[in-house]
Structure 1
Amino acid sequence: MTHETRTRAKIGVLVPFTNTNLEADMMLMRCRDTTLHFQRMGGYDVDEIPGSDQMAGLGASDISHDLRMISGVRPDVVLYGCTSATLTHGPSFDKQLALDIKAGSGALSITAAGALVSAIKTLGVTKVGFSSPYLGEINRQAVDFLAQNQITTVKCAGIGRNLGNYGQGELTPDEVFDLACQADHPDAEAIVLSCTDMRAVEAIDRIEAALGKPVVTSNQALMFALMRALGLPRQGNTPGQLFDLL
Structure 2
Amino acid sequence: MSVIGFLYPGYSAEDEYPAMERLLAASGRAISLPVVHTLMREDAHRVDALLDIGGDDVLGDGAAALKAQGVDAAVWACTSGSFVFGWDGAAAQVEGVRSAAAAPASSTSFAFVNAVRHLGLRRVAVAATYPRDVADRFAAFLGTAGIEVVSLSCRGIVTAAEVGTLGRDEVLDFVASNDHADAEAVLVPDTALHTVAWLTDLEERLGKPVLTANQVSVWEGLRLVGETAPRAGLGALFARE
Note whether the superposition's TM-score is higher than 0.5. Answer: yes
2:108 counterpart of 1:112: yes
2:11 counterpart of 1:18: yes
Tell me, yes or no, if the aligned pair for 2:7 and 2:38 is still in contact at 8 Å.
yes
Tell me, yes or no, if the aligned pair for 1:29 and 1:223 is still in contact at 8 Å.
no
- Quote the Cα distance in structure 1 between the aligned partners of 2:106 and 2:149: 23
Offset at 1:61?
4.4
- Quote the Cα distance in structure 1 between the aligned partners of 2:219 and 2:62: 23
Tell me, yes or no, if the aligned pair for 1:112 and 1:222 is still in contact at 8 Å.
yes
Tell me, yes or no, if the aligned pair for 1:12 and 1:79 is still in contact at 8 Å.
yes
Q: Which amino acid aligns with 2:180?
A: H
- Quote the Cα distance in structure 2 between the aligned partners of 1:13 and 1:66: 9
- Quote the Cα distance in structure 2 between the aligned partners of 1:235 and 1:154: 29
Q: Secondary structure at the match of 2:33?
A: strand
2:29 counterpart of 1:38: no
Q: TM-score, normalised by structure 1?
A: 0.88
State the partner residue of 1:91. Answer: 87
The C-alpha deviation readout for 1:16-42, integer Å capped at 9, x for no partner, is 122333434443444444322221111
Q: TM-score, normalised by structure 2?
A: 0.90
State the partner residue of 2:50. Answer: 55
Offset at 1:189?
0.7
- Quote the Cα distance in structure 2 between the aligned partners of 1:72 and 1:109: 15
The C-alpha deviation readout for 1:114-152, integer Å capped at 9, x for no partner, is 101100111111111101211111111111111111111
CA spacing shift, 1:162–1:241, aligned 2, 3 Å: closer
State the partner residue of 1:194. Answer: 189
Unaligned stretches of 5+ in structure 2? none
State the partner residue of 1:221. Answer: 216
Q: Secondary structure at the match of 2:129?
A: coil
Q: Secondary structure at the match of 1:187?
A: coil
State the partner residue of 2:141. Answer: 145
Q: Which amino acid aligns with 2:212?
A: T
2:194 counterpart of 1:174: no
The C-alpha deviation readout for 1:185-221, integer Å capped at 9, x for no partner, is 1111111111111012222211211221111111111
Q: Which amino acid aligns with 1:165?
A: A
State the partner residue of 2:236. Answer: 241
Runs of 4+ that moved beyond 6 A: none
- 104-113 vs 11-20, greater mean Cα deviation: 11-20
- Quote the Cα distance in structure 2 between the aligned partners of 1:10 and 1:24: 13
Q: Which amino acid aligns with 1:219?
A: N
- Quote the Cα distance in structure 1 between the aligned partners of 2:160 and 2:220: 26
2:202 counterpart of 1:207: yes
Q: Which amino acid aligns with 2:8?
A: V
- 16-25 vs 182-191, greater mean Cα deviation: 16-25
CA RMSD of aligned residues (A): 1.8
